[in-house]
Amino acid sequence: MKKIIVSGGAGFIGSHLVDALLKNPNLQVTCIDNFDSFYHESLKRKNIENHLTNTNYRLIEADICDFQFLNEHLDNHYDCIIHLAAKAGVRPSLEDPLDYQRVNVVGTQSMLEIARNKSVKKFVFASSSSVYGINENFPWSEDIFDLKPISPYASSKIAGEWLGKCYSEVYKMSFTALRFFTVYGPRQRPDLAINKFVSLIQNNKPITLFGNGSTSRDYTFIDDVIQGILKAIEYNDKMFDIFNLGNSYPIQLSEMLLTIEAAIGEKAKIIYEPDQVGDVPATLADISKSHKILGYQPTTSFMSGIEQFIKWRAHQE
């Protein structure tokens, strides 16, 4: 039986990934999560309710930076680590850069050391589209080496990729970095735009838009991202590699809002504010490499994804 560690396994992406992994009766999944207070712990507890009753699931409540604790409480061998745990968000990283450095860089180093000590040969790392920064060379491909991060969060993700490069070279560990592009869907963090906008419209409260609504994001539905992660687990052609997991279809902020309004059937009240520091004007993934090598192919339209999200929210109330 294969054994997999998922750090951050109670979060948005992590809990969906564990859902998918536990469908395979020949996999044992160990979730590491410290239920960080960035958003309410009860939401993450709810994400893993069904996991706790599965005999192939184990939860370890711990900080990924606590190497000694993890090294003592984890088993001696695992087939793969999927490292999703991180301090998330561009704007909050500008307010608390030291903690982002601690969790996202030192924490990644800690998980790589766990991999080395536990003879793990495959390490999948959750990177981010934010590493590209403000770069007008659209669409963004993995062979862009002139990365231009404009937030501590983005810089921490670049550092994680390079730590993986080091471990793949020195310790012959297969390291695959996945650059996620604005993932959305059921269980999305409450601080993210789609979740916030839906909540505000449904509660008849105004939405604050930063800028004139022309900024755009390559929104990627959670099911498509999980498909890409599962394919990356099996990828071993190169000891170190990087893949974009996006949708390759940019949605402007104004279009996103119109889509939400159409799905809910209500109009938003809008307050406009200047652009915020740390935000990039646009993101757009070149997914040709992921498609060719991993077989990655997003299939969820933005409207369908929004409708699925709103349906999920309705069942939470």
Instruction: Examine the pLDDT at 278 and tell me if it is beyond 80.
Output: no
Only one residue has tokens 């070149």, namely 286
- Please state, in angstroms and rounded to a whole number, the distance separating the CA atoms of residues 108 and 218: 26
Closest C-alpha among 70, 143, 56, 61 to residue 106: 70
Which residues form the catalytic set? Answer: 153
- Please state, in angstroms and rounded to a whole number, the distance separating the CA atoms of residues 12 and 66: 22
The structural domains of the chain, ordered by start, are: 2-183+220-248+284-298 (3.40.50.720)
Instruction: Examine the pLDDT at 208 and tell me if it is beyond 90.
Output: no
Contacts for 247 with CB less than 8 Å, ≥ 6 apart: 181, 218, 219, 220, 221, 224, 285, 287, 298, 302
- Asked if residue 283 lies in contact with residue 129, where contact means CB atoms within 8 angstroms, the answer is yes
Intra-chain end-to-end CA distance of the chain, in Å: 39
Segment 294-299 mean pLDDT = 97
Percentage of the chain modeled with pLDDT above 90 = 83
pLDDT in tens, 97-146: 999 999 999 999 999 999 999 999 999 999 999 999 988 888 999 998 88
Instruction: Examine the pLDDT at 169 and tell me if it is beyond 90.
Output: yes
**Quick one: pLDDT at residue 37?**
85
pLDDT in tens, 141-167: 999 888 989 999 999 999 999 999 999
Phi-psi region of 293 (alpha: psi -120 to 50; beta: other; left: phi over 0): alpha
DSSP class per residue in 41-93? HHHHHHHTTTGGG-TTEEEEE--TT-HHHHHHHS-S--SEEEE------HHHH
pLDDT band at 184 (very low <50, low <70, confident <90, very high): very high
Tokens of 163: 């730590």
Which 8-state DSSP code applies to residue 130? G
pLDDT in tens, 37-68: 888 899 999 999 999 999 999 999 999 999 99
Maximal C-alpha separation, the chain: 56
Segment 288-315 mean pLDDT = 95
Closest C-alpha among 239, 241, 245 to residue 222: 245
Tokens of 120: 């793990």
